[in-house]
Amino acid sequence: MSDYDEMQNQNTASRDNSQQQSGLDLGRALGVGGPEIKEVDKAENFKATVVRLIKYLKPQYPMLIAMILIAAIGAWFAIWVPDIMKKVTNCLVESIEYFIDIDRAPNGNGQLYNYIAPVLWTCAGLYVLNALFQFTSGLIAASMSQRVVRRMRTDVKNKLDKVPLSYFDATPIGDVLSRFTIDIEMISLTLQDSINQIITGVMTVAGVFIMMVRIDWLLSIIALVSLPLLLIVSGVIVRKSQKEFAKQQQRIGALNGHIEEMYTGHNVVKLYNHEEESIMTYEEINKALKRATRKSQFLAGIILPSIKFIDNLCYVGICVGGGLRAGGGMVTIGDIQALLSYTRQFAQPIENISNIANTIQSSIAAAERVFQVFDLEEMTADGEKKISVEECEGRVDIENVAFSYVKDRPLITDLSLHVNAGESIAIVGPTGAGKTTLVNLLMRFYETDSGRILIDGVDIKDYSRADLRSLYGMVLQDTWLFNGTVADNIAYGNPSATREEIIAAAKEAHADQFIVTMEHGYDTILKEGATNISAGQRQLLTIARAILKKPRIIILDEATSSVDTRTEKYIQSAMLAMMEGKTSFVIAHRLSTIKHAAVILVMNHGDVVEQGNHETLMAKKGFYYELYNAQFAGVSDDNKDDDTAASRFQQT
């Protein structure tokens, strides 16, 4: 466990508390891991985020303006059609001879051919133009959204490259990934679809109302009265259905969690004869899901009928009012037909906007999360001094270093240490003593609060981070291997290495013996997490990777606690070979493995409290003496010394 685990646990607990307030934690409720189902995310500062998003879209303003104009013009083409079609209706009504003379006969009026047909062709042309303009605006929106997504992902990636590693220590990896994927995709969805729908909807409602007022202002009041009713009814039902759909998703998550738990641990379930209890729990969750589904589907099902009902009332009102006004000669039959057509167009945009309201809220919340990444504090500037492994001697000096993960809780107060080139230092101490923190400071994963760390007499802040870290080779407890060939994993720190160099490093790490027995040898593909090889084999590969890098300074975090004795011998032997002639820092958890080290640093509360070899420290009967005896309480002296790894740990 690292020195800042307590800090991380506090951060995790804080996040868990906030999550419990905002939604249901299914994993905790069911005793299994799983996703948290929450209501629609809302931005904490909606207006400021919208303004910032608009500013971020500045490079896309030409495309955005073109999309808005094309979508608006396309909507107007569809709006004009009923106003034109009313002329056809009026023409047919006024044509007394319509049913007996509809062609271009010498004595006929030829209304259908000379007047009505061109009008119909005009309407068809307007509908075609409407479709083309909407299609074009959709293409522009798709292109614009993809450009924004690409730029935003690049900006997030560049920003995360500049933030301190403390951000990744305190932030769940899933949260970081979601900003790369889900949040940016949500923004893309809004830019591509929602803006188009909003523009078309607003223009349609405004245009329809203007056209209705042009025809008859009194009848248009009926549509105006229906507008707030449509907004209120759709808004209330959408908000209510949103809650019910959240409950439905919670029940689905609970059901999936229970099924996953039962089938993952089906051997244990069968062993303890819990099949019946499992089935009963499944039935209870399924019944709850059935109830939640009924409510959510009922509410979702009444949205459209409710809007249609209000729309139909408006339709009837215009029919009745239009009939009365037509009888008085104030409007024509064609005017009534146009008004009725506009009434049908009036409700659809409101329904569409209501349906995407939650999407917009979630998108703004997603944008806010992305902008939070942009606002993260960046690492201090890189130094300009160059250094290479060939030039580095490996002398390390730590002068009066102070450091804290939390400002008011100092961890290291005044640490000073001198390590000669090629010397190996064992670092021991209880959890939270500062062992891992010291390593993080050496590699400049964290910056010191005060004091300085020097390599070959130069402050590490004067080096570039890339040059500094090229000096180090690390073998940690937690092995990390990627999905690829064995050879590629070994060459990860030295991509230009030849196959002969890779094999030589593997032999030095005692890894060649098992690699050649694999089906494809060095070209064997390691699965995700390298699950197709053992823990000890994974560790040998990481040692080979560190050897091939040919570092000047070695950092070892003992990683033999989970392997068998024979593999432990190989790992210890490989580590000793890698440490030969190099400056080494060995973080030891089992004190028996460093009994023969020339220098042992004993850390507690961030400071070196004792220093010396094993015999000297034991003779002092101080903190190291207490640690050693506590670790081997109840173990005979003979067994204390019976540690093959310890006997092999020789100072180089």
What pLDDT, in 10s, does the model give residues 586-599? 887 766 667 767 78
17 membership: H or E segment, kind and range: helix 5-22
CB neighbour list of residue 614: distance below 8 Å, 6 or more residues apart: 594, 595, 596, 597, 600
pLDDT of residue 136: 92
User: In the predicted model, is pLDDT for residue 629 greater than 70?
Assistant: yes
Mean pLDDT of 226-241: 74
pLDDT tens-digit profile of 306-360? 777 877 787 788 778 877 777 777 878 788 888 878 877 776 777 677 667 667 7
Is the torsion defined by CA of 341, 344, 348, 350 positive or negative?
Answer: positive
3-state secondary structure of 525: strand
The tokens describing 527, both together, are 């699965």
CB 371 within 8 A of CB 49: yes
Residue from 523, 530, 512, 620 nearest 570 by CA: 512
Please tell me which residue, 643 or 379, carries the higher pLDDT value.
379
Residue with tokens 């089992």: 590
For residue 23, the SS3 value is: strand
The neighbour count for residue 570, using CB atoms within 10 Å, is 21
**In whole angstroms, what is the distance from residue 31 CA to residue 281 CA?**
13
Cα distance between residue 380 and residue 383, in whole Å: 9
pTM to 2 decimals?
0.64
In angstroms, the CA 420 to CA 15 distance is 44
pLDDT of residue 563: 58
Query: What gap in Å lies between CA 525 and CA 519, rounded to an integer?
Result: 10
Of residues 155 and 111, more confidently modeled: 155
Between 524 and 356, the more confident residue is 524
Task: Tell me: pLDDT of 369 over 80.
Answer: yes
Nearest to 586 by CA among 509, 477, 469, 478: 477
Strands (E), 30-134: 37-38
pLDDT at residue 129 in the model: 92
Please state the rounded mean pLDDT for residues 401-412. 82
Tell me what pLDDT residue 593 has: 63
Q: 160-203, pLDDT tens digit by residue? A: 888 887 788 777 777 788 788 878 888 888 888 888 888 888 88
* DSSP symbol at 383: P
The four Cα atoms 349, 351, 355, 357 give a dihedral, to 10 degrees, of: 60
How far is residue 82's CA from residue 59's CA, in Å, rounded to a whole number? Answer: 39
Q: Find all residues with CB under 8 Å of 188, minimum gap 6, and list them.
A: 145, 146, 148, 149
